[in-house]
Amino acid sequence: MAQMNYLTPCIFDFGALSQLPKVLKGLNVTRPFVVTDPGLKANGLLDRLLAALSEPPAGVYADTPANPTEAAARQAADDYRAAEADGLIALGGGSSMDLAKALGLMVSHEGPFERLGATVRGSRFIGRIPPLAAIPTTAGTGSEVSVGAIVILDNGRKETFVSPHLIPAQAICDPELTIGLPPLLTAATGMDAMTHCIEAVLSVVVNPPAEAIGLDGAERAWKWLPIAVADGSNRDARWHMMMASFEGALAFVKGLGVVHSLSHALGRVQELKLHHGTLNAVILPHSLAMIAGHADEKVARIRRALGLAPDADLAAAISDLNKRIGLPASLSQMGVTEAHWPAAREYAISDIATAANAIPFDGEKFDELFKRAL
Amino acid sequence: MAQMNYLTPCIFDFGALSQLPKVLKGLNVTRPFVVTDPGLKANGLLDRLLAALSEPPAGVYADTPANPTEAAARQAADDYRAAEADGLIALGGGSSMDLAKALGLMVSHEGPFERLGATVRGSRFIGRIPPLAAIPTTAGTGSEVSVGAIVILDNGRKETFVSPHLIPAQAICDPELTIGLPPLLTAATGMDAMTHCIEAVLSVVVNPPAEAIGLDGAERAWKWLPIAVADGSNRDARWHMMMASFEGALAFVKGLGVVHSLSHALGRVQELKLHHGTLNAVILPHSLAMIAGHADEKVARIRRALGLAPDADLAAAISDLNKRIGLPASLSQMGVTEAHWPAAREYAISDIATAANAIPFDGEKFDELFKRAL
């Protein structure tokens, strides 16, 4: 069983879930509180988690919304306190992880929740939260190793919370939990991992170990994602895609790029409810096309990692991958129209990911990227 | 300036030494104690460190022996206490780092020093040591990120001390400090880094991020080591070799192999005083030759990272590199004879690195490896 200690200790392999009691013991957690979502309660994964515990948890919150809210976190925090819990287990994708982190902040920090937000420079107020064991059930977000959480505040604003204290104390990555993931969700979350890897490699931040990990993740996703989509029961493919997801998050400590900026901006359009991974997949080829002639050495390394010819068109290769795994070819196919752009534009420009992009991006460049991707 | 947070936070770039006061402040160290060796006192690097401090340190111990001893560490610990220091700066190669770690253990742990040793399962008794800022002056050992320290005990035994608490709290990697390193030492320490990378990639332990980092380090060392040896003032070469060294140590969290086992065993032969990196360089091609037909996929990835042809002989390529950078071609050229083998053999077999080797190694295999390398 692989043991990795970059950022967060991680147990990674089929059957890793069985290590949960040992992990909790190591974290000195005797009364764990589980955070998950209705889908995982319905499909039996929550039951599988409960079966892996040596005794019942202190409590369970299974109402995580698709986009975690301050109100939901407050409710979960009340439940946590009432259960006299002393630690957290997050089971799910990014939403459950983020809600667990928000809960953790609420039960360990005084004052209004929003003062801890990144936009009001609240990171400096963030100290330890209760120990959190993170168990991903998709292969894409890499939230099990990330320093951040995104929560919709009571005032409607989407706020990011960032601190090393928000990195889960332990990740348990069990590819078994992704075996039942449907093809489209496998494809969309898998392309989230791929985009993390590629944007992290291309980011201007210098961090060779993170870059190396990103290249490795991209190589893995390129090879195994089509197989995982075509045959969800292929265990090798599930293993490698969960690893690509984990590696993507390790890699993006060096920042991301404008694919994420635009994806975040469009993801805020409430009525469309667009999937983050699908947005990334659709936008990525166009961002790559726009850096042609720049970052040539890094693009060459990505080509080499993917096993492409030295003169291959990387953007076209990603477009083709999207097509092969059944993802849309354009934003308009997802319901996005020109009318959505004005509101999203400013958000994309000011997104934290923009600064790390391979080439400088201003409003006009974003106009072009949006137009190309539309 | 690159910021990396794998294992230990690291500031990495030319001029990083200037960040020392800020680093100490971040570690809450107001009375630092410097550990270094006579060579660095003589060649001016200690003076450069002292000039980078905003005020004089609480104390300096500049008598680190080539192989740190318990007696030297005890003397340094006495000096540390007398200086009422509250933190450590290690300047040098592996020896100064290890002595600083031993000193740190002595001033923070009760009882006989040797009870903390790995061979008596002492790791479980090791808790926090004073904050240690590690500043490497060679590019090879990667001690600035390692969990271990090797010290010759009063009873003459060479003991290893291992604990996450021994990872330096902060690494400051400033390639400027290696500009004056002579060609032979550049070559020998550089091949230490190369061996870390290659053995870590080949080790049987599953840790893809570490493997990816090892491949990146090997690629870097392959390209830049000959240049650093030929022209020590080449700043790009010094930067990349220090990065290869850092990456090698990040990679070997997944274990090493029999090159290190044999190298450790022969390094114990007191009268020969063999250089660890040179030993690794000489032994590595023979270990690679002996795994022919095994670990083919990993060997193929190493070939690809080095830019070699898919059918290239990796062992021969490393031999050729050794030749190009002026390292010996055999152990006998270093003064090793058949007579040294019986005493070293058992040590090599029981070395901790043996278990992680790409293929199982027993006494007979070590006989063959020694014979080939001799």
Distance CA B287, CA A128 (A): 47
Q: What architecture does CATH give domain B181-373?
A: Up-down Bundle (1.20)
| Chosen from B206, B224, B241 to mutate, greatest number of chain A CBs within 10 A | B206
Average pLDDT across chain B, whole number: 94
Determine, for residues A206 and B6 on separate chains, whether the beta-carbon distance falls below 8 Å: no
* Residue A86 CB burial class (10 angstroms; 0-12, 13-18, ≥19): middle
Residues of chain A contacting B, Cβ within 8 Å: 1-7, 12-13, 164, 205-213, 215-216, 220, 243, 246-247, 250, 253, 304
pLDDT of B3:
59
Task: Name the residue among A2, A246, A250 with its Cβ closest to that of B206.
Answer: A2
Which residue from A minimizes the CA distance to B205?
A2
Determine, for residues B243 and A208 on separate chains, whether the beta-carbon distance falls below 8 Å: yes
Which residue from B minimizes the CA distance to A246?
B209
CB within 8 Å of A38: residues ≥ 6 apart: A62, A63, A64
| Partners of residue B220 in chain A, C-beta under 8 Å | 208
pLDDT tens-place string over residues B14-48: 999 999 999 999 999 999 999 999 999 999 999 99
Which residue from B minimizes the CA distance to A250?
B209
pLDDT tens-place string over residues B52-96: 998 999 999 999 998 899 999 999 999 999 999 999 999 999 899
Determine, for residues A211 and B216 on separate chains, whether the beta-carbon distance falls below 8 Å: yes
CB A213 within 8 A of CB B209: yes
pLDDT of B4:
58
On the question of pLDDT at B285 being above 80, the answer is yes
| Partners of residue A5 in chain B, C-beta under 8 Å | 7, 253
| Partners of residue B215 in chain A, C-beta under 8 Å | 212, 216
Determine, for residues A5 and B5 on separate chains, whether the beta-carbon distance falls below 8 Å: no
Task: Name the residue among B3, B208, B246 with its Cβ closest to that of A243.
Answer: B208
CB within 8 Å of A371: residues ≥ 6 apart: none
| Partners of residue A247 in chain B, C-beta under 8 Å | 208-209, 212
| Partners of residue A306 in chain B, C-beta under 8 Å | none
On the question of pLDDT at B109 being above 60, the answer is yes
pLDDT tens-place string over residues B125-152: 999 999 999 999 999 989 898 888 989 9
Determine, for residues A5 and B253 on separate chains, whether the beta-carbon distance falls below 8 Å: yes
Q: Which residue has the tokens 């002989």?
A: B313
| Partners of residue B213 in chain A, C-beta under 8 Å | 209, 212-213
Determine, for residues A212 and B215 on separate chains, whether the beta-carbon distance falls below 8 Å: yes
Determine, for residues B216 and A209 on separate chains, whether the beta-carbon distance falls below 8 Å: yes
- The DSSP code sequence of A206-253 is --HHHHHHHHHHHHHHHHHHHHHHH-TT-HHHHHHHHHHHHHHHHHGG
The alpha carbon of residue B304 is apart from the nearest alpha carbon of chain A, in Å, by: 9
| Partners of residue B216 in chain A, C-beta under 8 Å | 208-209, 211-212, 215
Determine, for residues B212 and A213 on separate chains, whether the beta-carbon distance falls below 8 Å: yes
Residues of chain B contacting A, Cβ within 8 Å: 1-7, 12-13, 205-213, 215-216, 220, 243, 246-247, 250, 253, 304
| Partners of residue B1 in chain A, C-beta under 8 Å | 206
The alpha carbon of residue B180 is apart from the nearest alpha carbon of chain A, in Å, by: 24
pLDDT of B225:
98
| Partners of residue B6 in chain A, C-beta under 8 Å | 6-7, 209-210
CB A27 within 8 A of CB A87: yes
What is the CA B313 to chain-centroid distance, rounded? Answer: 27
Same CATH fold, A181-373 and A2-176? no
| Partners of residue B212 in chain A, C-beta under 8 Å | 212-213, 215-216, 247
Determine the CATH number of domain B2-176: 3.40.50.1970
Task: Name the residue among A3, A208, A253 with its Cβ closest to that of B216.
Answer: A208
pLDDT tens-place string over residues B222-269: 999 999 999 999 999 999 999 999 999 999 988 999 999 999 999 888
Distance CA A350, CA A359 (A): 15
Which residue from A minimizes the CA distance to B220?
A208
pLDDT profile of chain A (374 residues), mean per 10: 68 94 96 97 96 96 94 98 98 95 97 92 95 96 88 88 92 95 96 98 94 97 98 98 95 93 90 92 98 94 96 97 98 96 93 92 97 97
pLDDT of B5:
60
How many CA atoms within 13 Å lie on the side-chain side of A192?
A: 25
The alpha carbon of residue B251 is apart from the nearest alpha carbon of chain A, in Å, by: 9
pLDDT of A5:
60
Determine, for residues B207 and A247 on separate chains, whether the beta-carbon distance falls below 8 Å: no
Give per-residue burial for A261-299: e unless 16+ CB within 10 Å, then b: bbbbbbbbeeebebbbbbbbbbbbbbbbbbbeeebeebb
pLDDT of B35:
98
Determine, for residues B213 and A212 on separate chains, whether the beta-carbon distance falls below 8 Å: yes
| Partners of residue B4 in chain A, C-beta under 8 Å | 207, 209-210
| Partners of residue A211 in chain B, C-beta under 8 Å | 216
Amino acid at B57: P
CA torsion sign for A346, A347, A352, A355 is negative
Determine, for residues B213 and A215 on separate chains, whether the beta-carbon distance falls below 8 Å: no
Determine, for residues B7 and A3 on separate chains, whether the beta-carbon distance falls below 8 Å: no
Distance CA B371, CA B341 (A): 10
Q: How many CB pairs under 8 A join A and B?
A: 67
Determine, for residues B250 and A209 on separate chains, whether the beta-carbon distance falls below 8 Å: yes
The alpha carbon of residue A208 is apart from the nearest alpha carbon of chain B, in Å, by: 8
What are the domain boundaries of chain A?
A: 2-176, 181-373
| Chosen from B124, B201, B204, B216 to mutate, greatest number of chain A CBs within 10 A | B216
Q: What angle do CA B191, B194, B196 make, to 5 degrees?
A: 110
Distance CA A15, CA A176 (A): 7
The three-class DSSP label of residue A88 is: strand
